Amino acid sequence: MASIILATLNARYSHASLGLRYLLANMGELQPETLLLEFIIQHRPADIVETIIGHAPKVVGFGVYIWNVEETTRVVALLRQVAPEVTVVLGGPEVSYEYDRQQIVQLADYVIPGQADIAFGRLCRRLLEGERPEHKIIPAEQVPLEQLVLPYRFYSDQDIAHRLIYVEASRGCPFKCEFCLSSLDKTSRPFDLDRFLAEMQGLYDRGVRQFKFVDRTFNLNIKSSLRILEFFLERLDERLFLHFEVVPDHLPEALKQAIARFPEGALQFEIGIQSFDPEVQALISRRQDNRKTEENLAWLRHSSHAHIHADLIAGLPGEDLEGFARGFNRLAALKPHEIQVGILKRLRGAPIDRHSEAFHIRYSPHPPYNILCNDRLDFATVQRLSRFARYWDLVGNTGRFPDALPLLLGDDPFARFLGFSDWLYHTTGQTHRIALDRLFDLVFRWLTREAGVGEAAARTALSADYIGCGAKGCPDFLKREGEGRRARALN
C-alpha cells in the first residue's frame, strides 16, 4: 500500500520520467509512503486505473505532457468514477498554462503549474493532514537548485538495464525562440558541477553507459561543458554514449578539441537549426549566426565522429514552401546524419501564438497541436509537408538507404524528395506500417519509373542497402534480377 502515487504515461517503455524521480527524491519524510508507477500510452486506461487503486492511495499525482494528455485524461476520468475519494493532482508542462480550457484540469482536484519538485510534497503533507487548499491552482515557486535532492538514485537496476537514463546539468534557457516553452525562462541555471558529476559517477558505477542530457543549451558555458566531456573521456569505453542538445553557432576551439577525442558512436548532438531565413529568425526571436552555424556543422561532420541530428521546423510564420525548401537544401548540403523535419506546434503557453492572427495561423485543437495552415501554406501543403516528414524519417533518417539516397535526392533534394513523397502517398495511401521489403520495392519503382534512374544503377544501390541494413528477405526487385539472370543463363 502507498499513501501517494506518482504516475505518468510514457511514450515508450524505454523512456523513464526524470521529472517524477525529482518529485520522489524531494518528498522528505513522505518518501517511504510514495510509490512511482510508470505506464506507456498504449496501456488500456482501465488497466492503469486498476493498478493504481490496487495500491489504495490517498493521493495520485500525474505528470501530464503533450504526448500523453489525451490518454491521461481518460485515466483520470475513470479514476474519478471508480475511486472518487482519491485526490488527483496534476503537474507538467501541458497543464502549466491555459489550464482553464482543459478537460483534464476540470476532472482533477489540484494542479501545480511550473517546476513542482518541492511543491508536490508540500501539497501532499497538507492533504494527508486533512487540510484541503481552497484553490485548485497552486503555482510552484522556482526553488534554488542547490535546495533540490537529486533524483539519480531512483533509477532502478531495471531502468539501467532497459531504459534511457535522462540527466540534466542545468535548467532553463537564455534564448527566446517563440515556438519553445523554454523561451519563458529568464536564464539558464546550472547545478553545482561537483555535485552533479558525483551523481554521474554513481550512475556510471552502477553500469550506466548511455546518458541523455536534457539541458536545452549544453554548450552555453564552455568551462562546464569541457569539465563534463573530460569526465566522460576519462571513463571512455566502447559502450559509452552521450546525447547533448547544442547551440549550433557556439563551438570554440577548446570544445572542438575535446569533441574530436571521442570515437565513433560515443557522441550524438541534437542541433536546432529550425530556419536559415534571417527574417523568420527575427520574427520568432531566434538568434543564430548562420555562417558560424554552417561552419560548425561542416567541422562536426568532417572533423569529428559525432552523430549529427539537425532540426528544421516547417510552418514558421513568414516562411513559405519555397523558403522552407531553400533551408532544407542548405542543411542537406552539410550532410548531417539525420534531418528532423518538424511541423510547427502551438505548445500551451509558448509565445508563438502572438503571430496567429497576423499570419492567419490555424492549429489543430488536438495534441500535438500541429499547424493546419497559415497565410503562406494552405492545408493541402501542410499535409504534404507532414507526409514528407514521415517518409523522410523512413528513408532519409533510418540509415537504411546510404547508397540509394543520393539517387533519390539528386541536385535538388527537397523538390526530389517531395516528388517521391507525393508519389508514395498516391501509390500506397499509407504513411505508417509500410513493410521494409515493400518500401525497398517502392523506392526502386520510383527511381526507375519516375526519376529516370537506370535499373542497373538503382538495383545496385538498393541491393547494397538491403544487405547492409541486415534484412533477410528478398524484395521483388531482387527476385526479378535473379529471374533475369536465370533466363539469360538458359539462353
Q: Answer yes or no: is pLDDT of 148 > 80.
A: yes
Model confidence over 459-474: pLDDT tens digits?
A: 999 999 999 999 989 9
Minimal CA–CA distance to 372: which of 343, 349, 348?
Answer: 343
Judge contact between 42 and 14, C-beta under 8 A. Answer: no
Tell me the pTM: 0.93
* Mean pLDDT (whole number) for 117-141: 96
**For position 491, what pLDDT does the model report?**
42
Average of per-residue pLDDT values in the chain = 95
Judge contact between 17 and 47, C-beta under 8 A. Answer: no
Q: How confident is the model at residue 273 (pLDDT cuts 50, 70, 90)?
A: very high
CA dihedral 248, 250, 253, 259 (to 10 degrees): -40
Q: How confident is the model at residue 489 (pLDDT cuts 50, 70, 90)?
A: very low
**For position 183, what pLDDT does the model report?**
87
Domains of the chain, earliest start first: 4-145 (3.40.50.2300), 164-377 (3.80.30.20), 400-491 (no CATH)
Q: How far, in Å, CA of 16 to CA of 111, rounded?
A: 22
Other residues' Cβ atoms within 10 Å of the Cβ of residue 410: 14
CA dihedral 198, 200, 204, 207 (to 10 degrees): 130
β-sheet with 34-40: strand ranges across: 34-40, 4-10, 59-63, 87-91, 110-112
Q: Answer yes or no: is pLDDT of 488 > 60.
A: no
Q: How far, in Å, CA of 29 to CA of 31, rounded?
A: 6
Q: Answer yes or no: is pLDDT of 486 > 80.
A: no
* Mean pLDDT (whole number) for 7-30: 97
**Lowest-pLDDT choice from 80-89, 148-157, 185-194, 307-316:** 185-194
Strand partners, 473: none
* Mean pLDDT (whole number) for 147-165: 97
**For position 482, what pLDDT does the model report?**
58
CA 31, distance to chain mean position in Å, is: 30
Q: Answer yes or no: is pLDDT of 480 > 80.
A: no
* Mean pLDDT (whole number) for 169-186: 91
Model confidence over 426-460: pLDDT tens digits?
A: 999 999 999 999 999 999 999 999 999 999 999 99
Q: How confident is the model at residue 403 (pLDDT cuts 50, 70, 90)?
A: very high
**For position 62, what pLDDT does the model report?**
98
Model confidence over 236-265: pLDDT tens digits?
A: 999 999 999 999 999 999 999 999 999 999
CA 146, distance to chain mean position in Å, is: 28
* Mean pLDDT (whole number) for 345-350: 95
Q: How far, in Å, CA of 106 to CA of 117, rounded?
A: 23
* Cell digits of residue 309: 541530428
